[in-house]
């Protein structure tokens, strides 16, 4: 760690931030093909229409992009049934999360999140000078009662991911509404919907009903998962007009490139492609879950494009990770999220899922020899 300067100091909270560590994408000492299952990316890539839009955008690289993101917001409104005027776009949903903390939390304020929640909640809270407060979960599920009990007159933001990462679990719309209703009057509930497109429950509305009924709930969404655009960094948020207006006042005028805007617009409008990606994820998520449970491993029902696999000991998880890497399969160790005994495995295509199942099976059989 770099030694602090004797007189030049960053704002309070900055040096308490641990750098975010993403999933590995390379294996040292190998030139073989690597299958990356560590960052919950879409194994089928972006829509061909989105790829063509990206290529076409290369003709306008000298031109500044739109500052109001109007065309993309209109497309989002059309597909997701939201009011485009209350959509804000950002460089990934991470930027929307950072905006929320910058605008609504500061020194002396508290930002709540669940114990296995996304690392950026804590990081963004600290960057704003606020105090992050971790709240326990109930068997890897968001605990509404625990969150409400942790609230006080300092609480400004409450973040929950639904479905959650890395657990894949989720709570019902009724529980989300109960949480929103019980918050202190000065607090905002933030629903991180990075994985909502993968949910199969026909009654699940990603929290839209709660948002439309209240003035203290906002959601964040991403193009990095189902839409396969993680490399372009595009996200969006939706909420009450008073919140979106405040966030837009700190948003940089050109925070998304023209290529990103055009590509995201094409991606969101290609509903046939995304429906196929979702169906394949559902199929192979179920298949891989059944195979790993049959091997005696603990796997909660996941509603995302990944599963959290829990071993009997951290040592077994570490050993299995190493064994999979020897096969060119990179998964995610999640000790930093409170699961030293766990591995988070992105749902890949059929070949990848079969390779993971076989690799884990052979590893566990080797432990009995």
String of DSSP letters for 185-207: TT-EEEEE-TTGGG---TT--TT
Tokens 């890539």, residue located: 45
Domain ranges (residues) in the chain: 22-45+272-367, 48-269
The pLDDT score that the predictor gives to residue 15 is 64
**Which pLDDT value is given to residue 31?**
43
Give tens-digit pLDDT for 142-160. Answer: 999 999 999 999 999 999 9
pLDDT at residue 32 is higher than 80 = no
Which residues does 46 contact at the CB level (< 8 Å), separation at least 6?
54, 227, 228, 229, 263, 267
DSSP calls for 284-345: HHHHHHHHHHHTT-EEPPPSSSEEEEE-SSHHHHHHHHHHHHHTTEE-EEEGGGTEEEEEEE
Return the pLDDT at 368.
72
Structural domain 48-269, CATH architecture: 3-Layer(aba) Sandwich (3.40)
Please answer whether residues 259 and 54 qualify as being in contact, where contact means their C-beta atoms are separated by less than 8 angstroms.
Answer: yes
* Residues 350, 308 contacting (CB under 8 angstroms): no
Half-sphere exposure of 43 (CA within 13 A, CB side): 22
Residues in the chain: 369
Going by DSSP bridges, is the β-strand pair 131-135/329-330 parallel, antiparallel, or unpaired? unpaired
pLDDT in tens, 158-186: 999 999 999 999 999 999 999 999 999 99
pLDDT of 6: 72
The percent of residues in the chain predicted with pLDDT above 90, rounded, is: 88
Report pLDDT digits (tens) over 237-264: 999 999 999 999 999 999 999 999 999 9
Burial class of residue 3 in the structure, from the number of CB atoms within 10 Å of its CB (0-12 exposed, 13-18 middle, 19+ buried): exposed
Q: How far apart are CA 280 and CA 133, in angstroms?
A: 37
Helix (H), strand (E) at residue 132: strand 131-135
pLDDT at 27: 56
Residue 358's pLDDT band (cuts 50, 70, 90): very high
Task: Assess contact for 267 and 225: CB atoms under 8 A.
Answer: no
What is the pLDDT at residue 344?
Answer: 97
CATH 3.90.1150.10 fits 22-45+272-367, yes or no: yes
Supply the pLDDT for residue 314: 97
Average pLDDT, the chain: 93
- 332-350 as b/e, with b when 16 or more CB fall inside 10 Å? bbbeebbbebbbbbbbbee
DSSP 8-state secondary structure symbol assigned to residue 64: P
């Amino acid at each position: 760690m770099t030694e602090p300067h004797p007189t030049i100091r960053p704002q309070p909270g900055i040096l308490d931030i641990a750098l975010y560590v993403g999933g590995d994408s390379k294996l040292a000492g190998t030139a073989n093909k690597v299958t990356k299952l560590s960052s919950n990316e879409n194994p089928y890539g972006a829509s061909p229409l989105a790829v063509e839009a990206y290529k076409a955008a290369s003709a306008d690289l000298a031109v500044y992009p739109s500052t109001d993101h109007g065309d993309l917001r209109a497309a989002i409104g059309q597909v997701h049934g939201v009011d485009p005027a209350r959509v804000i776009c950002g460089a990934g949903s991470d930027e929307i999360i950072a905006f929320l903390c910058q605008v609504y939390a500061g020194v002396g304020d508290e930002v709540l999140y669940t114990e296995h929640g996304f690392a950026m909640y804590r990081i963004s809270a600290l960057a704003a000078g606020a105090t992050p407060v971790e709240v326990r979960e109930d068997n890897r599920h968001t605990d509404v009662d625990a969150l409400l009990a942790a609230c006080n007159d300092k609480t400004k933001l409450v973040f929950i991911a639904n479905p959650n990462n890395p657990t894949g679990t989720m709570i019902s719309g009724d529980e989300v509404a109960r949480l929103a209703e019980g918050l202190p009057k000065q607090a905002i509930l933030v629903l991180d919907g990075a994985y909502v497109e993968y949910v199969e429950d026909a009654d699940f509305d990603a929290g839209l009903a709660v948002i439309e009924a209240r003035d203290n709930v906002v959601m964040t969404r991403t193009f990095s998962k189902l839409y396969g655009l993680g490399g372009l960094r595009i996200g969006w948020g939706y909420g009450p007009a008073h919140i979106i207006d405040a966030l837009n006042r700190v948003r940089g005028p050109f925070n998304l490139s023209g290529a990103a805007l055009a590509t995201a617009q094409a991606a969101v409008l290609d509903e046939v492609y995304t429906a196929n990606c979702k169906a394949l994820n559902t199929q192979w998520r179920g298949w891989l879950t059944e195979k790993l449970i049959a091997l005696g491993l603990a796997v909660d029902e996941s509603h995302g494009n990944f599963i959290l696999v829990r071993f009997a000991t951290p040592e077994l998880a570490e050993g299995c990770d190493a064994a999979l890497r020897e096969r060119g399969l990179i998964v995610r160790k999640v000790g930093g999220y409170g699961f030293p005994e766990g591995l988070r495995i992105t749902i890949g295509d059929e070949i990848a899922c079969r390779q993971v199942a076989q690799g884990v099976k052979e590893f566990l059989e080797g432990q009995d020899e």
